[in-house]
Amino acid sequence: MTVEIREIPLVEPDAGPYGITPGPDGALWLTLAHAGGIARLSPDGEVRTYPLDPAGGRPLIITAGPDGALWFTRSGDDRIGRITVDGEQRTIALPGGTGPGGIAAGPDGALWYAGMTSDTIGRVETDGTHSAFPLPVSGGFASMITAGADQALWFTLNQANAIGRIDLDGRVTLYPLPTAKAGPVGITLGVDGVIWFVEIAAGQLGRIDPDGEIVEFPLPDRAARPHAIVADPDGGAWFTEWGANRIGHLDPTGRIEGHALLTPNAEPHGITRTPTGIWAALEIGAVAHLTPPTTWAHPPLTRDDHEVIAATRRVVSRLQCN
């Protein structure tokens, strides 16, 4: 696949762009983990930055909320932040030691987050009401979280080496990974209803279906350190290779390609998708934009298509592991 790549300077190199998401205003919104701020990149290339208020929160992941605002985790001071498209901020305090990491909008109209240092999954309503659900592990390091297609949230347990599922009533199910010490991090909902995730320590991608069946895909470069992942409308996924300075792609047949970034040691982290292509946050202070050679305007895949794709992936995975 031939992919056009460009890099857009965003902020000073030490600001540390990390999480990225499309906003309801058509702009891209990013967290600046080192600088302690939020950045907005408009469709015409204008950049605005907003220092955190209060300062010093080390923002990590950002997502669009159901209320037309952006919500983000402040891992440095145990808060959930909210910023409107006009830049107005407020925060919701969490219990000390929560360590919020990933955040996602749930099917119930609330924001759900992963408590990295508290072994919890939390829920915050847009009015600030908060609740937390304990996980059946100790030191599991819940990292990233995504809404599934099954009225539940799915999350990675980086140190417990598992994928978790929590329903809207707080009931938790854990699915151990086949590969030991795989270190799952990024996670996303696929177009066919399965969950995709990355294994940063094992150098693999994985997918889990709603019944808990897991298939793993070893990367050609097992030292690539995959970090974040987003679904491809064609049935595969795009992901950042933090350790290899690439953006990777897995197609519906299980074929994996890597696309080198223009700047060495750019440190790609968060990744997202818009109708104009794939966008990745680069810790060097920029955003990478990849334009694949498709418009993603084709009809959606049928159920039979997805069943064939899933069967093909299982066969490819077994061949790669043998």
Query: Which whole-number Å values give the CA distances from 84 to 29, 81, 235, 249, in the listed order?
Result: 11, 10, 32, 32
Task: Out of 34, 249, 259, 269, pick the active-site residue.
Answer: 269
**CA 220, CA 162: separation in Å to the nearest integer?**
23
Residue 252: CB atoms within 10 Å: 20
Find out whether 193 and 210 touch, Cβ atoms under 8 Å: yes
The region, left, alpha or beta by phi > 0 then psi within -120 to 50, assigned to residue 203 is left
The SS3 of residue 272 is strand
Q: Please classify residue 2 by burial: count the beta carbons closer than 10 Å to its beta carbon, then call 0-12 exposed, 13-18 middle and 19+ buried.
A: exposed
Residue 19: closest CA among 230, 189, 165: 230
The SS3 of residue 74 is strand
- Residue 269 annotated as catalytic: yes
Host H or E run for residue 91 = strand 89-93
H helices of the chain, where? 303-321
Give counts: helices (H), strands (E), the chain.
Answer: 1, 28
**CA 47, CA 40: separation in Å to the nearest integer?**
6
Residues marked as catalytic: 269
